[in-house]
A and B are shown apart, each in its own frame.
Chain A
């Protein structure tokens, strides 16, 4: 993985690049040169909104010219987006689960159910927990997030059954919903919210809305407390307005002005300690501080904050041009860490990778994102923007956000728009 070894070693990509620069006539022939040595190999790590989309687009659009392998430990993928709606009772569990079968059957993607645990950047190969390895010409890392150890004193992964994070969709999401349903009458649900930056900026607050929706029906004297280290949060005005309209008096947020930035938890006692004062709670949803999924650090491409800096136009790592990073794990600029963003970045990346490996056309990148949130029944809101690639970062060009006081018809239409988006993006990832 050291850079000096890479410089001294044989590097076919550098050779091709200099050959192409020497004469334009040669550049058109460089792609067949690669093909003559066998199909170029792309390995994608992580089968979420970034990785599944990238694998599907490269395999589909290259029509077999690129060999695509997707490494993903889960056999069934449950989307983090819309998992709050499951907690709120608006979605069935099975409706947010997806299979990788169509990627293999329809597009020839080689789906490997294993954990990627190491990257040898000199040999260009990925090591798997199961013992095998996969060679690549281009590696796409889309590993999502991991939690920063020690960010909430008293909490670690060994406590996630007592105090679930439910911030990677799956059994944790089901556990949290079961705990909310089992709360005693008039009990307390507490969320320890994460510091910036983190996956899905409105996510914790949509979750609060969904928990309130459930409790209002089943346990109306219950309380919801958010312990939050941040001064402000995404769509704050819209959420706070909605909480007062739908769930008056139920939700309390303890921000840094009341010590929300000084929190520890005691899972055995089910206590949350805010600025030295212990509170007894019945459910504690700890969403810790976050960083790029572990494989990004293992590849040696992360910065001090734990995220992987990228070149906006291609999503290539700034540390290694043979590696691309997508979605939550990428340090890219203005886009929020969302499934929509990862899907948008994946299409830009897929085009760049095909262009590099097969000589296909590459167009100027365009990115977009929308984050919908459900506050109550048929009360949907959204925030979104368009983005462009500058040398420095993915930069916001224009945006929009729902307003307080919008009519019920518009809010319902916004929610229905999100249902259409969910059907669309999951088809874009898995069909």
Chain B
């Protein structure tokens, strides 16, 4: 399987204290553990089960994902930050892998 690719999209300009939209997505097949392959064998469960975003070392949002979530999970949320800093994104795979991405936020 190809290595999952995480992506994050932030607005071009961000103001201190004003909520903005964060769009995130990771490529992942999200195998539910209920499906069979073309030979009839059960495909074992393998999903992204947790998504965590922190800002300046503090958790901003934490999401538990279940097998019903579709492939390439897309998560969008609103965030307001008091000052410039570093946004850290982490996606946790059933197999223990952690995929991460870091984005600098500069407030105007």
A→B interface (CB under 8 Å): 186, 220-223, 225, 244, 248-252, 254, 257-259, 275
Q: Which of the residues A220, A222, A252, A275 comes within 8 Å of B5, measured between beta carbons?
A: A252
Determine if A244 and B29 form an interchain contact, defined as CB atoms under 8 angstroms apart: yes
A257 to B9, alpha carbons, bound, how many Å? 8
Contacts A244-B29, A249-B27, A252-B72 given; does A186 touch B7 at CB 8 Å: no
The complex places the Cα of A248 from the Cα of B9 at a distance, in Å, of: 23
- Going nearest first, the 3 A-B pairs with the smallest beta carbon separation are A248-B29, A249-B29, A252-B27
Question: Are B9 and A223 neighbours in the complex by a CB distance under 8 Å?
Answer: no
In the complex, A254→B71 CA distance in Å? 15
Q: Bound complex: CA of A251 vs CA of B25, how far in Å?
A: 13
- Decide yes or no: A221 and B1 within 8 Å by CB, A249-B28, A257-B23 being known contacts: yes
Task: Please provide the chain B residues from 51 to 81 with a CB less than 8 Å away from any CB of chain A in the complex.
Answer: 71-72
The CA of A248 and the CA of B38, in the complex, are separated in Å by 13
Apart from the given pairs A220-B2, A221-B2, A221-B3, 10 other A-B contacts in the complex at a CB distance below 8 Å:
A220-B1, A222-B2, A225-B5, A249-B4, A249-B28, A249-B71, A252-B5, A252-B72, A258-B25, A275-B9
Set of chain A residues within 8 Å of B3, measured between Cβ atoms: 186, 221, 223
* B-side interface residues, number (CB < 8 Å): 15
- Residue of chain B at shortest CB distance from A223: B2
> Is B31 interfacial (CB-CB < 8 Å)?
yes
A258 CA to B25 CA in the complex, in Å? Answer: 9
Q: Does A223 contact B71, Cβ atoms closer than 8 Å? A: no
- Determine the residue in chain A with the shortest Cβ distance to B4: A249
- Hey, which chain A residues are within 8 Å of B28, CB to CB? 249
The smallest beta-carbon distance between A260 and chain B, in angstroms, is 10
- Expressed in whole angstroms, the Cα–Cα distance for A220 and B28 within the complex equals 14
Greatest chain B CB density within 10 A among A220, A252, A275 is at A252
**B35, closest chain A residue (CB):** A245
Check A259 against B9 for contact (C-beta < 8 Å): yes
Instruction: Show 26 residue pairs from A and B whose CB-CB distance is below 8 angstroms, ordered by the A residue.
Output: A220-B1, A220-B2, A221-B1, A221-B2, A222-B2, A223-B5, A223-B27, A225-B5, A244-B29, A244-B71, A248-B31, A249-B1, A249-B27, A249-B28, A249-B29, A249-B71, A250-B2, A251-B27, A252-B27, A254-B7, A257-B9, A258-B7, A258-B9, A258-B23, A258-B25, A275-B9
Question: Which B residues form the contact surface with A (CB < 8 A)?
Answer: 1-5, 7, 9, 23, 25, 27-29, 31, 71-72
Q: When chains A and B are docked, how far (Å) is the Cα of A223 from the Cα of B71?
A: 16
Contacts of B2 in A (CB 8 A): 186, 220-223, 249-250
- Min distance, Cβ B63 to any Cβ of chain A, angstroms: 19
CB distance from A280 to the nearest CB of B (A): 13
Q: How far is the CB of B68 from chain A (nearest CB, A)?
A: 15
Report how far A257 CA is from B72 CA in the complex, Å: 14
What are the residues of chain B within 8 A of A254 when measuring CB–CB?
A: 7
Cα–Cα, bound, A244→B31 (Å): 10
The chain A residue sitting closest to B71, CB to CB, is A244
Query: A222 to B3, alpha carbons, bound, how many Å?
Result: 8
The residue on B at minimum CB distance from A257 is B23
How long is the Cα–Cα vector from A176 to B7 in the complex, in angstroms? 27
Q: Which residues of A contact B31 (CB under 8 A)?
A: 248
- Contact partners of A252 in chain B: CB under 8 A: 5, 7, 27, 72
Name the residue of chain A whose CB is nearest to the CB of B24.
A258
Question: Closest residue to B31 on the A side, CB-wise?
Answer: A248
**Chain B residues whose C-beta falls within 8 Å of the C-beta of A248 in the assembled complex:** 1, 29, 31, 71
* Cα distance A251–B2 in the bound complex, in angstroms: 9
Q: What is the chain A residue whose CB lies nearest that of B70?
A: A244
Q: Which among A221, A225, A249, A250 has the highest number of chain B CB atoms within 10 Å? A: A249
B25 CB contacts on chain A under 8 angstroms: 258
Nearest A residue to B7 via CB reads A258
Provide the bound-state CA to CA distance between A244 and B72, in Å: 10
A220 cross-chain contacts in B, Cβ below 8 A: 1-2
How many angstroms from the CA of A389 to the CA of B25 in the assembled complex?
45
The CB with the most chain B CB atoms within 10 A, among A220, A222, A223, A275, is that of: A223
A275 to B12, CA, bound (A): 10
By beta carbon, the residue of chain B nearest A254 is B7
Q: Which residues of A contact B7 (CB under 8 A)?
A: 252, 254, 258
- A225–B71 Cα distance when bound, in Å, is 16
Closest CB-CB distance, A86 to chain B, in whole Å? 24
Contacts of B29 in A (CB 8 A): 244, 248-249
Chain A residues with Cβ under 8 A from B4's Cβ? Answer: 249
Specify which chain B residues have a CB less than 8 angstroms from the CB of A225 in the assembled complex.
5
A274 nearest in chain B by CB position: B7
Min CB gap B13→A, angstroms: 13
A248 vs B3: C-alpha distance when bound (angstroms): 11
B22 CB to nearest A CB, Å: 12
Compute how far the CA of A220 lies from the CA of B71 in the bound complex, rounded to whole angstroms. Answer: 18
Min Cβ gap B34→A in Å is: 14
